[in-house]
Amino acid sequence: MSVILSENPSSGILLLRFNRPEKLNTLNQEMRDELIRLLDAAAADNDVRVVVMTGDEKAFIAGADIKAFAAADADEVKSWNHEKFWHDLGAFPKPLIAAVNGYALGGGCEVMLCSDIIIMGEGVKIGLPEITLGFMPGGGATQRLPRAVGKYRAMQMILTGSRIGAAEALEMELASEVVADRDVLSRALEVAETVASMPPLATQKVKQAVLMSQEEPFFDGMKRERELFYDLMATEDRAEGIQAFFDKRKPVFKGK
């Protein structure tokens, strides 16, 4: 049985469901490899404009597979090359939406942090419990979480290993929206449909520009934003969008 189920619920959308229900979708090497394989294929597929990741009602991803860590020493853990997984996930060029129910802990929280939009259920439990086991997050949480919520909230979460719920996550800007648990996936797909209807070149350049705002000095980011803006001025989609506006019709974007 596949550890990730893939489907296309509507045009332009790829839905990826983490599928280790007996383990609360804990993240093992097979799941890491499969996720990157599917995302690489989605990046190369012009018919895919947005990707939605989800788990099930009990868990988005309830952390890493601790048994694998328990049986490995430092050298073996290094050999797993997790750096490539986290780099490739963070560098995925198309909009990535996380539909989160249940637990999003440890590595699951870090996968969520790599997404661009987070739709969260009211019953979620989010946390980074690594410190309670004698180590620390290794998938980017110490870098992405402070950028998302600020140093002090991030420090408290990581240093205490405590869990937070949906209301607190929304208050600290760790979620785009919070909805009823039963509505998480339907709402995520609704947002995905809106994003998929936009010009794909523009959505990718918007993602690129916003991610740069987290990594580069302000004026360097402003310079690069202007370059991306000019790039889009030369596209067929830009001409189609403006003509459709004047024609009072829905534009047909082709990614050109």
Q: How far apart are CA 147 and CA 252, in angstroms?
A: 36
Q: Which of 12, 55, 106, 107 is catalytic?
A: 107
Phi, psi of 229 (to 5 degrees): -60, -45
Catalytically annotated residue among 42, 59, 62, 64: 64
Per the CB < 8 A criterion, the answer to whether 202 and 237 are in contact is yes
Q: Which of 184, 148, 190 is nearest to 166 (CA)?
A: 184
- Any catalytic annotation for residue 122? no
Q: Which of 130, 154, 192, 202 is catalytic?
A: 130
**Containing H/E element for 112?**
helix 107-113
Catalytic residue among 62, 99, 104, 110: 110
* Long-range contacts of 161-165, Cβ-Cβ distance < 8 Å, separation of 24 or more: 161/127, 161/128, 161/129, 161/130, 161/131, 161/132, 162/127, 163/105, 163/125, 163/126, 163/127, 163/129, 164/125, 164/126, 164/127, 165/123, 165/124, 165/125, 165/126
Measured between alpha carbons, how far is residue 97 from residues 29, 144, 193, 216 in Å? 22, 16, 11, 23
For this structure, is 130 an active site residue? yes
Q: What is the total residue count of the chain?
A: 256
Looking only at the bridges linking them, the beta strands covering 117-121 and 96-100 are: parallel
To the query of whether residue 110 is one of the catalytic residues in this protein, the response is yes
Residues taking part in catalysis: 64, 107, 110, 130
